[in-house]
Structure 1
Amino acid sequence: MRLTHSILGAATLAAVSLGATTALAAPASAAPNTTPQKVCGSGYKTVNSAPVGTLGTVYLAYNAANGNNCVVTIRNNPGTAVDMSAWIYVPDTNEGDDDYGHYGSYAGPAYVIGRGHCVDWGGSIANTYVQVTGSNCGSLAEHRTTYTR
């Protein structure tokens, strides 16, 4: 009888522990599971961002130590993979980088040397696209466009 009681007690404790772990674990779609700094790497700080409709945000980050810009698009609710993109372009130097694919959480990073230059950048999630042109140019005004296909 004592052995049966101990086994039942251990089974109950295991079930309660598993239930508590499951209850405390955040669902995959609750919030973004990354940040621009995690994706771009050490030394990058967010300097600009643009919403991609209600689906997420495109972030522009800059690393003052190496003069590189980084762009990453992060979904508000990670989950089933969808078409996503992150891109950046420097008109003065004709240099750019992009990442297009089918992702569950984020697209990018896309890098370009941007020190001393205006940058164009953007991204997409599913069928919603955003582009920012003439960005981070000091006194010049940037132009933002969001559209759905």
Structure 2
Amino acid sequence: MTALAAPASAAASTTPQKVCGSGYKTVNSAPLGSLGTVYLTYNSANGKNCVTTIRSNPGAVLDMSAWIYVPDNEQNSDDFGQYASYAGPTYVYGKGHCVTWGGNISNVYVQVNNSNCSALKESRVTFTR
């Protein structure tokens, strides 16, 4: 009898730190209704932000995304696809920069603008398609 490991995207009860890696701490999050949450993490050792979207109840694959954008230098990273548990990780160098980030699960989307910067006020938009 041969046992097969489940792909990483099918792992149940994952965390942003498991997806993004050691050293990443959650600095912000945005719920996607009851479907899951998009997490913004930061690693002070390398100055990078990571975004991942994690489902509350992994299961059959759904359209999912995780993305991040640095407006002042137009740096971006995204992951769009069909996943059973999570989308991402997506990374940008964010030290000293405001970031815009978000993601979706199925038809529920969230976008967080001007996040984690002192100069601008954060705004959030959640919508369904």
Same fold (TM over 0.5): yes
How far off is 1:84 after superposition? 0.1
> 67, 76, 83: which is aligned to 1:96?
76
Matching of residue 110 in structure 1 with residue 98 in structure 2: no
- Listed one character per residue, the Cα deviations across residues 2-54 of structure 1 (whole Å, up to 9, x for unaligned) are xxxxxxxxxxxxxxxxxxxxxxxxxxxxxx52000000001000000000121
Q: Is the contact made by 1:53 and 1:146 (CA closer than 8 Å) also made in structure 2?
A: no
Q: What's the counterpart of residue 48 of structure 1? A: 28
Matching of residue 60 in structure 1 with residue 40 in structure 2: yes
Superposition misfits of 4+ residues, deviation over 4 angstroms = none
Q: TM-score, normalised by structure 1?
A: 0.78
Q: What's the counterpart of residue 120 of structure 2? A: 140
Aligned residues: 118
Q: What's the counterpart of residue 50 of structure 2? A: 70
In structure 1, how many angstroms separate the alpha carbons of the residues matched to 2:19 and 2:118?
Answer: 26
Larger proportion of strand:
2
How far off is 1:139 after superposition? 5.1
- Listed one character per residue, the Cα deviations across residues 44-80 of structure 1 (whole Å, up to 9, x for unaligned) are 0000000012110000000000000000000000000
Larger radius of gyration: 1
In structure 2, how many angstroms separate the alpha carbons of the residues matched to 1:41 and 1:107?
Answer: 14
In structure 2, how many angstroms separate the alpha carbons of the residues matched to 1:88 and 1:57?
Answer: 15
Larger proportion of helix:
1
How far off is 1:143 after superposition? 0.5
Cα RMSD (Å): 0.8
The secondary structure found in structure 1 opposite 2:17 is: helix
Q: TM-score, normalised by structure 2?
A: 0.89
Q: What's the counterpart of residue 7 of structure 2? A: none
How far off is 1:140 after superposition? 2.6
In structure 2, how many angstroms separate the alpha carbons of the residues matched to 1:56 and 1:139?
Answer: 29
> 25, 48, 61: which is aligned to 1:81?
61
The secondary structure found in structure 1 opposite 2:19 is: helix
In structure 2, how many angstroms separate the alpha carbons of the residues matched to 1:44 and 1:132?
Answer: 19
Identity, % of aligned positions: 70
Unaligned runs of 5+ in 2: 1-11
What letter matches 1:112 in structure 2?
V
In structure 2, how many angstroms separate the alpha carbons of the residues matched to 1:35 and 1:117?
Answer: 25
